[in-house]
Amino acid sequence: MVATNERIGFIGLGLMGHGMAKNIVEKGFPLTVLAHRRRTAVDDLAARGAGEAVSAKALAEQSTIIFLCVTSSQEVEALVRGPDGLAVGARSGTIIVDCSTADPGSTLALAAELAPRGITFVDAPLSRTPKEAWEGTLDTMVGCDEVTFARLKPVLDTWAGRVVHIGRTGDGHKMKLLNNFISLGYAALYAEALALGRKVGITPQQFDSVLRGSRMDCGFYQTFMRYALEGDREAHRFTLRNAHKDTRYVAAMADAAGLANPLGNAVKNSFALAVAAGRGDDYVPMLADIVADLNGIAPASVAS
């Protein structure tokens, strides 16, 4: 056990959160997680030494630093503001860290509500995949003051290989939306390019033989193409529904800033189309199959 007075709470044991929480407890921090009907992650963490709370309020009463890794700002707000929520149980000096991809407006509102009670709200959204979450090598961009960052850093280091203190509260979520605008924009471009290639007689293999190793290559391209070329459904485990949510947040941020963002809206509509087609629970690289199907051609993942 590390020498620390911090007691960590963790809510959201999904694809990313399970690995993050595993690294926190394995690297010596006392950990309490929130009970959930899906017991696999909770039981695994309990076997590693974590405790379990029956409500967000109870978890807050036992924790000095609380991490949230849930889907959206709506869920974060419910966890904080609910009648049995974090704000009810947290004491002055508690830090709540939102690792979700969230609406910066919501983030700033929660921070303003909690500050008079001595509770600090921090945004530390994530980059990379569940594989890196399990390995403890995620990227995170953190929005908070310097004193809070110094207190958080040893815990962040348990599950992140790259920790960037990007700026003030809210700046982490703003930067994450910019990051996802670019990465999900890549996905929309790749999906359409693969479909167009099929239409004009260029296979995914030929496409890849030119882009791989070129200036257009990157880690996101490689995981996307691992599905397109090999049919590996686990290559990039981020749902089309979550992608649509993130692109909606990008559009809202642009609207609030008074920015015309035609490319952002085009990317958003690519994912809206996928969700409207009933494919929201599929993963982002499968957008290539949806675009192919809409154009009456073979899915990229089975094209030869």
Is residue 270 in some structural domain?
A: yes
300, pLDDT greater than 90:
no
Mark whether 217 and 289 lie in a shared domain: yes
Predicted confidence band of residue 122 (pLDDT cuts 50, 70, 90): very high
Lowest mean pLDDT among 195-199, 253-257, 277-281, 299-303: 299-303
**Domain end position, chosen among 168, 199, 228:** 168
Mark whether 284 and 247 lie in a shared domain: yes
**Full DSSP string of the chain:** --S-S--EEEE--STTHHHHHHHHHHTT--EEEE--S-HHHHHHHHHTT-EEESSHHHHHHT-SEEEE--S-HHHHHHHHHSTTSHHHHPPTT-EEEE-S---HHHHHHHHHHHGGGT-EEEE--EES-HHHHHHT-EEEEEES-HHHHHHHHHHHHHHEEEEEEEESTTHHHHHHHHHHHHHHHHHHHHHHHHHHHHHHT--HHHHHHHHTTSTT--HHHHHHHHHHHH--TTSS--BHHHHHHHHHHHHHHHHHHT---HHHHHHHHHHHHHHHTT-TTSBGGGHHHHHHHHTTS--GGG--
Is residue 164 in some structural domain?
A: yes
Predicted confidence band of residue 301 (pLDDT cuts 50, 70, 90): low
Give mean pLDDT, residues 269-289.
97
**Domain end position, chosen among 129, 149, 168:** 168
pLDDT tens readout for residues 6-49: 999 999 999 899 999 999 999 999 999 998 777 999 999 999 99
**Domain end position, chosen among 151, 168, 185:** 168
CATH number at residue 257: 1.10.1040.10
Mark whether 195 and 164 lie in a shared domain: no
Active site residue 27: no
Query: What pLDDT does residue 298 have?
Result: 74
pLDDT tens readout for residues 173-194: 999 999 999 999 999 999 999 9
Predicted confidence band of residue 303 (pLDDT cuts 50, 70, 90): very low
Mark whether 17 and 160 lie in a shared domain: yes
Mark whether 67 and 154 lie in a shared domain: yes
Query: What pLDDT does residue 299 have?
Result: 72
Q: Which domain, by its residues, includes 124?
A: 8-168
Mark whether 49 and 142 lie in a shared domain: yes
Is residue 3 in some structural domain?
A: no
**Overall domain count for the chain:** 2
Mark whether 135 and 185 lie in a shared domain: no
Query: What pLDDT does residue 292 have?
Result: 94
Is residue 2 in some structural domain?
A: no
Query: What pLDDT does residue 304 have?
Result: 43
Mark whether 24 and 159 lie in a shared domain: yes
Name the catalytic one among 22, 174, 176, 245.
176
Query: What pLDDT does residue 218 have?
Result: 95
Query: What pLDDT does residue 3 have?
Result: 60
Q: What is the mean pLDDT of the chain?
A: 95
Query: What pLDDT does residue 81 have?
Result: 97
Mark whether 211 and 159 lie in a shared domain: no
